[in-house]
């Protein structure tokens, strides 16, 4: 089931107390909204927010995937939230404060029970573990392999957040201090077979140029999308993680050139100054296959 997850370029956090902001996420063109029941909701308001989030999930439509970030599964509260929001229209659950594969296996079992109650196929609801501690980042590979429903996992290295505190780096707009970390986590989740890894976050709301540079760096590493905290970030992220018209046109030209050469019995050929062969053509076909239509 996990390999069939749709590619998501932008996943926008929406406070669980502000369900009405889903309309803003939709208008911004977000591929997914993450309704947040953890950091965005004070303790006294979590029960009421959970009820509103569950209602919003039930009203979700196909134009934007809806995820829910529950509270950690270190007590009954998180498990009750998970059961409350489980629904055929729920795209996935964001699991915070993951310490290791045991946390993922527990969430997987709980989701399996929910799916059985709802008459859903096993693995219908995706699971996105958040790697927010040094231990979790170190165990990215085993966490990613802990359940087939794991998807969209990656390194989220926002300014001043849990990861910066856990690792001790000093955040910079250039991202050089987290480049190796984001690269290693990406390699781990790719090796684990997890589809559609996403990165994040960019917390400077008004600095769209900085956001673009950071998103381009993540795309160059191999990430397929980013989590976001503000609607104004969504169009930039969508643009960066979507192939441009010239890239798509070059892919088509390359495929045609390689296939024409193969018909002549040739292997590698020179194409627009580069040496290319079937491996490059296969990559070009993947780009065309995964290209996301503009919303």
Structure tokens at 110: 């709980």
Residue 227 contacts residue 201 (beta carbons within 8 Å): yes
116 annotated to bind ligand: no
Spatial distance between the Cα atoms of 83 and 36, rounded to a whole number of angstroms: 15
103 annotated to bind ligand: no
74 annotated to bind ligand: no
Structure tokens at 29: 């063109």
Spatial distance between the Cα atoms of 6 and 196, rounded to a whole number of angstroms: 8
Residue 29 contacts residue 295 (beta carbons within 8 Å): yes
Question: For residue 2, what is the DSSP state?
Answer: G
Residue 123 contacts residue 116 (beta carbons within 8 Å): no
Name, in order, each residue with C-beta under 8 angstroms of 260's C-beta and a sequence gap of 6 or more. none
Residue 224 contacts residue 241 (beta carbons within 8 Å): yes
Helix, strand, coil in percent for the chain, rounding step 5: 50, 15, 40
Q: Strands, E, within the chain: which ranges?
A: 10-15, 32-36, 65-69, 92-95, 126-129, 198-199, 225-228, 269-271, 274-276
Question: For residue 197, what is the DSSP state?
Answer: -
CB under 8 A, 24+ apart: contacts of 47-52: 49/16, 49/17, 50/16, 50/80, 50/81, 50/84, 50/85, 51/84, 52/16, 52/17, 52/19
Q: What is each CA distance from 256 to 163, 190, 237, in whole angstroms?
A: 45, 29, 30
Annotated binding site for Mg(2+): 132, 162
Annotated binding site for substrate: 69, 132
Annotated binding site: 69, 132, 162
């Amino acid at each position: 089931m996990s390999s069939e997850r749709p590619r998501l370029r932008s996943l926008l956090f929406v406070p669980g107390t502000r369900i009405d902001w889903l309309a803003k996420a939709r208008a911004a063109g977000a591929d997914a909204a993450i309704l947040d029941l953890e950091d965005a909701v004070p303790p006294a308001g979590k029960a009421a927010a959970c009820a509103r989030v569950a209602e919003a999930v039930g009203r979700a439509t196909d134009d934007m995937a809806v995820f829910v970030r529950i509270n950690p599964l270190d007590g009954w509260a998180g498990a009750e939230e998970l059961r409350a929001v489980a629904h055929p229209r729920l795209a996935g659950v964001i699991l915070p404060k993951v310490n290791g594969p045991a946390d993922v296996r527990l969430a997987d079992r709980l989701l399996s029970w929910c799916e059985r109650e709802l008459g859903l196929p096993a693995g219908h609801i995706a699971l996105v573990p958040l790697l927010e501690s040094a231990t979790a980042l170190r165990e990215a590979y085993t966490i990613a392999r802990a359940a087939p429903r794991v998807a969209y996992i990656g390194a989220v290295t926002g300014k001043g957040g849990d990861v910066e505190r856990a690792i001790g780096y000093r955040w910079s707009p250039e991202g050089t201090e987290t480049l190796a970390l984001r690269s290693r986590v990406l390699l781990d989740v790719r090796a684990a077979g997890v589809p559609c890894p996403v990165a994040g976050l960019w917390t400077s709301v008004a600095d769209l140029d900085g956001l673009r540079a950071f998103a381009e760096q993540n795309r160059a590493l191999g990430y397929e999308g980013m989590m976001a905290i503000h609607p104004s970030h969504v169009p930039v992220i969508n643009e960066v993680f979507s192939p441009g018209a010239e890239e798509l046109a070059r892919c088509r030209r390359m495929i045609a050139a390689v296939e024409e050469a193969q018909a002549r019995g040739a292997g590698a050929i020179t194409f627009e100054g580069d040496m290319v062969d079937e491996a490059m053509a296969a990559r070009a076909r993947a780009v065309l296959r995964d290209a996301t239509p503009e919303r």
